[in-house]
Structure formats: C-alpha cells, structure tokens
Amino acid sequence: MIKRRWNSTFKSSKPSRLKTRTHLRPVRKTLPESEARIKQDLIKLTSLIVRMRDKACVLCGSTRELQNGHFWHRDLPPTEFCLVNCNALCARCNNRHEYRPERYTEWMREKLGEIEFDRLDRRAHGETKLSYIELWDLRETYKLLFKELNAIREVA
C-alpha cells in the first residue's frame, strides 16, 4: 500500500467542511411566550432600564462602556432581575467587582443602609425562584417602566 502525503496539489473528492462553514451557528429560537424567551426579554430590559436610570458608572463616574452590574451574581434567581441589585458599572469596574468586591460592597452598604442590605442578602440567597406568572408580570412592568424612562429621556 502506498502512503500518500498531503500537499497543495492533492485535491480531495469531498469538499472540505471547514471551507463551506463561514457563518456562525444560528441562535436557538424560543417560543414567544416561553419561560426562556421571557427571561431573555427581562435580561435586556433590566440592562436598558439600569443604564438609563444611572447614566454613569456608580463607582467611578465613567459614561463609557456601561454595563448592568449585578451586586449579587445573576445566577441567584431571586435577585437576577431585581433593580435594587443592579447598577450601571463601566466594564472596568464590573470586571474588578468579580475579583475585588470591597469597593462595590462598601458603596452598596452606604446606598442601601445595613437593614436593606441584609434584606437583599437574604433575598439573594433564598431558595425561591420566580414562577412563570411572576416573570411575565415583571416583564410587562419593566416594559412600561422602560417606555416611561425613554419618554423622559426624549423630553430632556
């Protein structure tokens, strides 16, 4: 049996998959009223509302690359969409918060006060998840709030 070496002149009879695959995989579509779709909408609405509300990074005052920074991680369902838990942070401060949370923690304690801070802590680490109806209601509430903030921004 003769071994054939690969070189630029050798052409395969099959087309290469790598050459034909020039696009990204499509995003998985969700049903309009599925729980996953409602959560997608809530993530977007929460981020928009927080950035419109705060207008600048709450830690350094920068207005560049604002992100929706969650004080308690967004993997904790009870506070994932809570506007008290979310604040506008620039990309640098949001990244820093992951590794050195002292500054953000101090700011949150000062903003909320000890009693409200402890209440948010208990809520974040509670076992309750939002039901489908609660998620749907929250999305409708945030849609209205977004429209109000957008109208105020246009007037100003």
- Give 29-84 pLDDT, tens digit per residue: 656 688 999 999 999 999 999 999 999 999 999 999 999 999 999 888 889 999 99
Cα–Cα nearest to 41, from 153, 142, 131: 142
CA separation for the pair 64, 27 (Å, rounded): 28
Tell me the whole-structure pTM to 2 decimals: 0.76
Q: What pLDDT digit, counting tens, does each position of 110-146 carry? A: 999 999 999 999 999 987 888 999 999 999 999 999 9
Q: Has residue 35 been placed in a domain?
A: no
Q: Has residue 153 been placed in a domain?
A: no
Q: Which domain holds residue 123?
A: 52-145
Q: Has residue 12 been placed in a domain?
A: no
Handedness of CA 120, 96, 90, 47 (dihedral sign): negative
**What are the helix (H) ranges across 2-131?**
17-20, 35-54, 91-99, 102-112, 114-124
Q: Has residue 80 been placed in a domain?
A: yes
User: How many structural domains compose the chain?
Assistant: 1
